[in-house]
């Protein structure tokens, strides 16, 4: 009979184990902890943890441990268990009661066997074969079903060879061993069920996020990749900051919960784009809406050419009765000059429509001049302005392809993102998602949007997401309005952003010094984009200052 003092010690161990199991997030480690804990409180030399398969037809080997043989398989070891699952039923559908683990699961009962070699009613041929191969002697077995809160068996704990704490001799499992093991199995089943439910909920949650990002992708193939790449770059930079042990970020550290929270924020950082009109998101030229309206302008130029040709023919016809070679030559020169001017102006508007280069004041004035110089007559016979006021506004956009109003629409996506995320009932470990996701368009100098936050008003995760968002946009190869930048170009621009107060200087330093940009490039950029980078030429980066280079 167990000593009372010894029993109290083991009960205290059981309480500690139960608390530890409830806080473990990693499923493999949780399963491993359950078996190790069961072995500890029952002083078993070996043991196996089985889980019931999804179809409830078999028991899968999850963890195996035998201390005296140095066997440690499954779980966090990375070494798989080579045994096939134990069937719960035979080929005719009858219960497989010959196997003690199957019997325990099906009958929802604990089985305590003092000596397997003399036990009746169970098939221990596999155990005998194992012993023959290893020189081991499997004697006492304690097999306990793991039942969840609904009374459903989800696994089985099987413990082998209880050891005397003083002599090390193999004993049978005592009645207190059985009760302790059953208590642990009950707690373990709850912890395992909770972990599985949490994993399933997290998987469902992430699937819903993917659904939103796929919806954005379906609206615009040019931004779908962005929704996937920014989170990846965010986590790369976050890990680099986490590993930094000098400077302003030396105290920045992330737990697994912190990492998951930042990952979710990264995946949701642009969810508000689901409300943004696709013709604005995908606006590849200045006149593009549902289609590129430069084609309408081309039609008007063709009408001008037709009118010029008709004027030439009318002039020649007027001279038919009074031939005048010099006058005809003059009419033809005037026609040729007009056609040349029309084609030059058409080519200019095509170039202006692309919006790749910043427009000069002279170019803007030329658009206005074209709009007022030409008149054209439409299908209804009425003469009108060559360019509408809205077309002039678009064609004179100084840089890019978006008007001020369209840029406001684009910028509103972050407001929409914040509103959507703040409306959700976030659990405690994800409560910062709205702040992280909603801050990637803020600037360190307070000139960003939508809230005009300054650096000291923002968390490190929100600040690093801003760098990830900018760098991804600079190097993206799937945007209709720009060519993909080379690595050195993007870093040069990012350095200017650091100098003008746009991005966090300490995180920028980590981004460059720890070669985050290169890891991202290897994973996501085309080979031709990855050129040689001279870090000493990057604006705002002091390549000689840092010592944190591991």
Q: Per the domain annotation, does 61 fall within a domain? A: yes
Helix, strand and coil content of the chain, in percent to the nearest 5, comes to 55, 10, 30
Which of 380, 401, 422 is where one domain is finished? Answer: 401
**Least confident residue range of 134-138, 457-461, 480-484, 498-502:** 480-484
DSSP calls for 283-351: --STTBSSSBTHHHHHHHHHHHHHHHHHHHHHHHHHTTTS--HHHHHHHHHHHHHHHHHHHHHHHHHHH
Q: Which pLDDT score is estimated for 260?
A: 93
pLDDT in tens, 85-134: 999 999 899 999 999 999 999 999 999 999 999 998 999 998 999 999 99
What integer is the mean pLDDT of 181-188?
Answer: 85
What integer is the mean pLDDT of 187-215?
Answer: 84
What CATH code is carried by the domain that includes residue 125? 3.30.450.40
Q: Per the domain annotation, does 418 fall within a domain? A: no
Contact present, 218 and 484 (Cβ < 8 Å): no
Same domain assignment for residues 15 and 83: yes
Same domain assignment for residues 30 and 142: yes
Residue keyed to tokens 């699937």 = 207
Looking at every residue in the chain, the average pLDDT score rounds to 87
Q: Which pLDDT score is estimated for 11?
A: 63
What integer is the mean pLDDT of 42-48?
Answer: 94
Q: Which two tokens stand for residue 282?
A: 């995908």
Query: Would you say residue 384 has pLDDT above 60?
Result: yes
Q: Which pLDDT score is estimated for 521?
A: 95
| 3-state secondary structure string across 210-238 | HHHHHHHHHHCHHHHHHHHHHHHHHHHHH
Per the model's pLDDT, the better-predicted residue between 208 and 149 turns out to be 208
Q: Looking at residue 507, what DSSP letter applies?
A: H
Nearest to 289, CA basis, from 281, 297, 301, 300 = 281
Q: Which pLDDT score is estimated for 548?
A: 44
Q: Per the domain annotation, does 215 fall within a domain? A: no
Same domain assignment for residues 34 and 165: yes
Q: Which pLDDT score is estimated for 9?
A: 65
What integer is the mean pLDDT of 177-202?
Answer: 85
Same domain assignment for residues 324 and 368: yes
**Least confident residue range of 7-16, 373-382, 519-528:** 7-16
What integer is the mean pLDDT of 394-422?
Answer: 80
Query: Would you say residue 547 has pLDDT above 60?
Result: no
Q: Which pLDDT score is estimated for 79?
A: 93
Q: Which pLDDT score is estimated for 109?
A: 95
Q: Which residues contact 85 (CB under 8 A, 6 or more apart)?
A: 53, 58, 59, 60, 61
Same domain assignment for residues 383 and 525: no
pLDDT in tens, 462-489: 999 999 999 998 998 866 556 778 999 9
pLDDT in tens, 267-293: 998 888 777 776 666 666 777 776 678
Query: Would you say residue 499 has pLDDT above 60?
Result: yes
Which pLDDT band holds residue 75 (cuts at 50, 70, 90)? Answer: confident
What integer is the mean pLDDT of 35-64?
Answer: 93
Same domain assignment for residues 465 and 394: no
What's the total number of domains in the chain? 3
Contact present, 489 and 505 (Cβ < 8 Å): no
CA distance 60 to 160: 18
Dihedral angle sign, alpha carbons of residues 303, 308, 312, 314: positive
**Least confident residue range of 17-31, 203-217, 229-243, 349-363:** 17-31
Q: Per the domain annotation, does 287 fall within a domain? A: no
Count CA within 13 A, CB hemisphere, residue 352. Answer: 29
Which pLDDT band holds residue 59 (cuts at 50, 70, 90)? Answer: very high
What integer is the mean pLDDT of 179-207?
Answer: 85
Query: Would you say residue 397 has pLDDT above 80?
Result: yes
Contact present, 449 and 443 (Cβ < 8 Å): no
Query: Would you say residue 436 has pLDDT above 60?
Result: yes
- Looking at the DSSP bridge assignments, the partners of residue 89 are 95
Same domain assignment for residues 389 and 445: no
Which pLDDT band holds residue 234 (cuts at 50, 70, 90)? Answer: very high
Q: Which pLDDT score is estimated for 1?
A: 45
Q: Per the domain annotation, does 364 fall within a domain? A: yes
Q: Which residues contact 379 (CB under 8 A, 6 or more apart)?
A: none
Q: Per the domain annotation, does 276 fall within a domain? A: no
Q: Which pLDDT score is estimated for 231?
A: 92
Q: Which pLDDT score is estimated for 510?
A: 95
Which pLDDT band holds residue 317 (cuts at 50, 70, 90)? Answer: confident
Same domain assignment for residues 240 and 333: no
Same domain assignment for residues 182 and 240: no
Q: Which pLDDT score is estimated for 478?
A: 64
Contact present, 142 and 177 (Cβ < 8 Å): yes
CB atoms within 10 A of CB 167: 8
CB atoms within 10 A of CB 123: 14
What integer is the mean pLDDT of 2-16?
Answer: 62
Q: Per the domain annotation, does 300 fall within a domain? A: yes
What is each CA distance from 339 to 20, 305, 315, 371, in whole angstroms? 84, 6, 16, 17
Q: Which pLDDT score is estimated for 546?
A: 53
Contact present, 124 and 4 (Cβ < 8 Å): no
- pLDDT > 70: percent of the chain: 91
CA distance 288 to 336: 31
Same domain assignment for residues 161 and 52: yes
Q: Which two tokens stand for residue 265?
A: 């924020």
Q: Which pLDDT score is estimated for 46?
A: 95
Q: Per the domain annotation, does 450 fall within a domain? A: yes
Which of 401, 423, 442 is where one domain is finished? Answer: 401
Same domain assignment for residues 438 and 528: yes
Q: Which pLDDT score is estimated for 141?
A: 97
Q: Which pLDDT score is estimated for 353?
A: 86
pLDDT in tens, 122-155: 999 989 999 999 999 999 999 999 998 888 999 9
CA distance 530 to 522: 8
- Which residues span the domain enclosing 306? 294-401
- Maximum CA extent, the chain: 137
pTM of the model: 0.65
- pLDDT > 90: percent of the chain: 48
Same domain assignment for residues 392 and 439: no
């Amino acid at each position: 009979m167990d000593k009372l003092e010894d029993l109290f010690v083991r009960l205290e161990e059981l309480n500690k184990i139960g608390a530890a199991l409830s806080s473990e997030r990693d499923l493999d480690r949780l399963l491993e902890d359950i078996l190790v804990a069961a072995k500890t409180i029952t002083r078993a030399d070996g043991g196996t943890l089985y889980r019931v398969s999804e179809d409830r037809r078999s028991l899968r080997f999850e963890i195996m441990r035998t201390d005296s043989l140095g066997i440690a398989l499954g779980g966090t070891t990375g070494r798989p268990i080579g045994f096939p699952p134990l069937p719960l039923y035979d080929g005719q559908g009858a219960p497989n009661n010959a196997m003690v683990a199957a019997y325990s699961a099906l009958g929802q009962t604990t089985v305590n066997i003092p000596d397997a070699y003399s036990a009746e009613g169970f098939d221990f041929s596999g155990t005998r074969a194992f012993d023959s191969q290893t020189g081991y002697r499997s004697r006492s077995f304690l097999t306990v079903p793991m039942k969840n809160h609904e009374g459903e068996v989800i696994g089985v704990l099987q413990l082998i060879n209880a050891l005397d704490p003083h002599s090390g001799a193999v004993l049978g499992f005592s009645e207190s061993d059985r009760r302790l093991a059953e208590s642990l199995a009950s707690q373990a089943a709850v912890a395992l069920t909770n972990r599985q439910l949490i994993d399933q909920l997290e998987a469902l949650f992430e699937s819903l996020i993917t659904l939103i990002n796929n919806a954005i992708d379906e609206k615009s193939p040019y931004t779908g990749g962005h929704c996937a790449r920014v989170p990846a770059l965010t986590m790369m930079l976050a890990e680099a900051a986490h590993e930094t042990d000098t400077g302003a970020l030396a105290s920045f550290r992330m737990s697994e919960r912190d990492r998951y929270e930042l990952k979710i924020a990264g995946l949701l950082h642009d969810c508000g784009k689901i409300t943004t009109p696709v013709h604005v998101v995908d606006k590849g030229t200045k006149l593009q809406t549902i289609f590129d309206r430069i084609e309408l302008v081309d039609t008007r130029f063709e009408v001008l050419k037709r009118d010029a040709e008709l004027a030439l023919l009318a002039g020649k016809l007027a001279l038919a009765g009074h031939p005048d070679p010099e006058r005809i030559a003059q009419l033809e020169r005037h026609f040729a000059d007009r056609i040349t001017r029309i084609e030059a102006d058409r080519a200019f508007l095509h170039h202006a429509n692309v919006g790749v280069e910043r427009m000069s004041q002279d170019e803007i004035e030329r658009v206005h001049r074209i709009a007022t110089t030409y008149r054209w007559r439409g299908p209804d016979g009425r003469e009108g302005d060559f360019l509408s006021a809205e077309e002039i506004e678009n064609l004179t956009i100084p840089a890019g392809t978006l008007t001020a109003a369209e840029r406001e629409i684009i910028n509103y996506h972050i407001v929409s993102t914040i509103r959507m995320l703040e409306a959700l009932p976030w659990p405690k470990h994800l409560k910062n998602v709205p702040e992280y996701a909603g801050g990637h368009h803020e600037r360190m100098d307070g000139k960003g949007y939508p809230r005009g936050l300054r650096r000291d008003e923002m968390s490190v995760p929100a600040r690093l997401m801003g760098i990830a968002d900018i760098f991804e946009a600079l190097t993206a190869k799937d945007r209709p309005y720009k060519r993909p930048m080379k690595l050195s170009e993007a870093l040069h621009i990012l350095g200017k952003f650091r100098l003008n107060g746009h991005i966090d200087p300490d995180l920028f330093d980590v981004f460059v010094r720890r070669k985050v940009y290169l890891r991202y490039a290897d994973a996501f950029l085309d080979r031709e984009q990855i050129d040689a980078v001279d870090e000493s030429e990057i604006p705002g980066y002091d390549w000689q200052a840092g010592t944190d280079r591991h």
